[in-house]
Homo-oligomer: A and B are copies of this chain.
Amino acid sequence: MSRTAPRTEPAGTPLGDAFHVYDTTLRDGAQREGISYSVADKLAVARHLDALGVGYIEGGWPGALPKDTEFFARAAAGELQLRHAALVAFGSTRRAGLTADRDPQVRALLDSQAPVVTLVAKSDRRHIERALRTDVAENCAMVSDTVSFLRGEGRRVFLDAEHFFDGYRFDPDTALRVLEAAVTAGADVAVLCDTNGGMLPLGIAEVVAEVAGRTGFRLGIHCQDDTGCAVGNSVAAVQAGATHVQCTANGYGERAGNADLFAVVGNLVTKLDMPLLPEGAFAELTRISHALAEIANIAPDTHQAYVGASAFAHKAGLHASAIKVDPELYNHMDPAVVGNGQRVLVTEMAGRASVELKGAELGLDLAGRPEVVSEVVQTVKEREAQGWSFEAADASLELIMRSALGDGSQAAPPFTLESYRVIIEHRADGVVVAEATVKVLVDGVRMIATQEGNGPVNALDAALRAALTPSRPWLEKVELSDFKVRILTPGGAAEHPEGHGTDAVTRVLVESTDHGGAWTTVGVHGNVVEASWLALVDALAYAALRRTGPHAAA
């Protein structure tokens, strides 16, 4: 069928075929609202998953979706070289009244050249009767015929028993008959699917243990997250005897999503001591999670277990000082193990210890410079009392630290402001326009630039860039990628319990990117435009630092 013997078992993982980490990001994950993978995206996702060392990559449903058919064709033509994973095609059993070899959908599974096929079959009698409009005997025949046919063609076969848990509760005999039809015909794994996602961990563990005891079959688990328990359910199933776990990257999937691959693998490896991944791959968990979010064009979940940017971020001063003494007391594990890092959030609750830890995190050694730490703590406290917040604005905090360290020139913006003016008009014809003029000194030269924008900050940003890019052409690569606004009561709520309306203080967070990395800066002022300006200025100062200073190599 293909030139070299296609792999049907995981390669290079300590447990080999004894345990399957089975990824269905490219099929079930693609059901998530907002995801639309191109074929090139799918190939890139598969390469990342293979680098992580999952055992199986379910590439899609050939014959049902043209993009999936093409994905398998391009993979078979050599565009996808897998080092660890076996490629899987997903599809349904033959239709009622057709033989398997004549069913075009089954044919498409063969044509995909995938060495492994996962067949989905109904195992809930209500679905068999009401959705499929057939009976249990014919449903089981559809399963066993299709499995036999594919086995005869040299394929390894797994069975996804759809709606298994609901079906088992409603009519256990039917549910078990479907598994038996598949395994007797040669399927290697019977995957119990919580398709509607309504299960809880203890219930999952009970059913998996019971089915394992009654059948002796090799069992897999596939959980949806409708109760917020997909990860817990998957792990509980493994503890109850499942040796094949289906997940998606970052939990992408229909409705509330699927079990998150990274959390499931993180738990099995660190909590249950199962060596699932190839040597060195576990430390790639965070990077690969973020890369797959990038391909899906979904902002990474900052609070995701194990891999989120905040997963090891500590805010409470109480904890921060104790962490310095003994980090292992305040994290469930060492974040470096999954390629993540501990972060200390410098906030009103924080003290010297957090500033030192933060400095070390940013590569600045403040440990031997108590006077610098004092100055930074003082500046941070003063600014936070005015409404500044540095916990999400590392770049602004680094500029403060560098300035306190005497790196003043590096921390300064690449220009001096003389003045700016922004005009917003709602004209009599109903059109709304924004226009900004900036007057700045750049390398001693006075530059005046005027630009329009669809809002005051957009116009100001455009005008500032127009003034700077003649001498700083690299600024064209720097873009604002996010912009957040928060209105605050001045001086803390205590002083103004009432009436903090339009005369309140505004905090603006600006995220910038130069396509090599991203950084966040902050500005605070009573005027939202001036607050935005301050954050923009920090953003450009930091961009210059990235280009010429200590970040240049990064």
Q: In the complex, A202→B263 CA distance in Å?
A: 16
- Which residue of B228, B455, B502 is within 8 Å of A483 (Cβ)? B502
Chain B minimum-CB-distance residue to A309: B33
- Given contacts A226-B332, A497-B481, whether A130 and B297 have CB atoms under 8 Å apart is no
Task: Please tell me if the beta carbons of A267 and B130 are within 8 angstroms of each other in the complex.
Answer: no
Q: Does A218 contact B (CB under 8 A)?
A: no
Question: Inside 8 A of A188's CB, which chain B residues have their CB?
Answer: none
Mark each residue of chain A from 118 to 144: 1 if its CB lies under 8 Å from any CB of chain B, else 0. Answer: 000000001100110000000000000
Cβ–Cβ contact A260 & B131, under 8 A? no
For A98, the chain B residues whose CB sits under 8 A away are none
Segment among A150-158, A400-408, A426-434 that sits at the interface with chain B: A426-434
In the complex, how many angstroms separate the beta carbon of A294 from the nearest chain B beta carbon? 10
Q: Is A266 an interface residue (CB 8 A)?
A: yes
The answer to the question of A461 belonging to the interface, with a C-beta cut-off of 8 Å to chain B, is: yes
Q: Does A235 have its Cβ within 8 Å of any Cβ on chain B?
A: yes
Partner of A299, one of B33, B427, B461, B497: B497
| Structural contact, A501 and B481, CB atoms closer than 8 A | yes
Q: Which residues of B contact A36 (CB under 8 A)?
A: 389, 486, 488
Contact with B along A423-462 (1 / 0, CB 8 A): 1111110001010000100000000000001111110010
Q: Is the CB of A67 within 8 A of B479?
A: no
- Considering the complex, give the chain B residue whose CB is closest to the CB of A333: B198
Interface string of A323-341 (1 = CB under 8 A from B): 0011001111100000000
With A33-B392, A315-B33, A528-B456 known to touch, is A421 a contact of B417 (CB < 8 Å)? no
Which B residues touch A251, using CB under 8 A? Answer: 303
Contact with B along A520-554 (1 / 0, CB 8 A): 00000111111011000000000000000000000
How many copies are assembled?
Answer: 2
Residue of B127, B311, B496, B525 near A329 (CB, 8 A) is B127
Q: Check A379 for interface membership: any CB of B closer than 8 A.
A: no
| A71 closest partner in B (C-beta) | B493
Would you call A484 and B487 a contact (CB within 8 A)? yes
Contacts of A532 in B (CB 8 A): 502
The closest CB in chain B to the CB of A331 belongs to B196
Give the docked Cα–Cα distance between A290 and B164 (Å).
33
Pairwise interchain contact A229-B267, C-beta atoms closer than 8 A: yes
Least CB separation from A229: chain B residue: B232
Q: Are A485 and B482 in contact (CB under 8 A)?
A: no
Contact (Cβ within 8 A) B424 A419? no
Residue A233, interface by CB 8 Å? yes
**Residue contact B502 to A455, C-beta cutoff 8 Å:** yes
Contacts of A28-45 to chain B: CB distance below 8 A: 31-34, 36, 38-40
A372 at the interface (CB under 8 A from B): no
Nearest CB to that of A300 among chain B residues? B497
B267 close to A196 (CB less than 8 A): no
What residues of B have a CB within 8 angstroms of the CB of A319 in the complex? 254
- Name the distance in Å between A443's Cβ and chain B's nearest Cβ: 19
Residues of chain B within 8 A (CB-CB) of A434 are: 527, 529
Q: Are B330 and A228 in contact (CB under 8 A)?
A: no
Contact with B along A216-233 (1 / 0, CB 8 A): 000000000111110111
A200 proximity list for chain B (CB < 8 A): 232, 235-236, 239, 267, 271-272
Within the complex, what minimum Cβ distance (angstroms) separates A72 from chain B? 13
Best-buried of A315, A349, A439 by chain B (most CB within 10 Å): A315
For the complex with contacts A34-B495, A297-B495, A482-B501, 15 further pairs of A-B residues with Cβ separation under 8 Å are A38-B493, A202-B236, A227-B332, A228-B231, A228-B266, A229-B232, A256-B306, A418-B428, A419-B427, A422-B425, A424-B424, A455-B529, A456-B529, A481-B497, A481-B500
9 smallest CB-CB distances across A and B, nearest first, come from: A232-B232, A480-B501, A198-B332, A228-B263, A201-B201, A458-B502, A228-B305, A485-B485, A228-B231
15 contacts between A and B (CB under 8 A): A33-B345, A33-B346, A36-B486, A198-B332, A201-B202, A229-B235, A255-B303, A455-B506, A455-B526, A455-B527, A455-B529, A456-B528, A458-B502, A481-B497, A481-B500
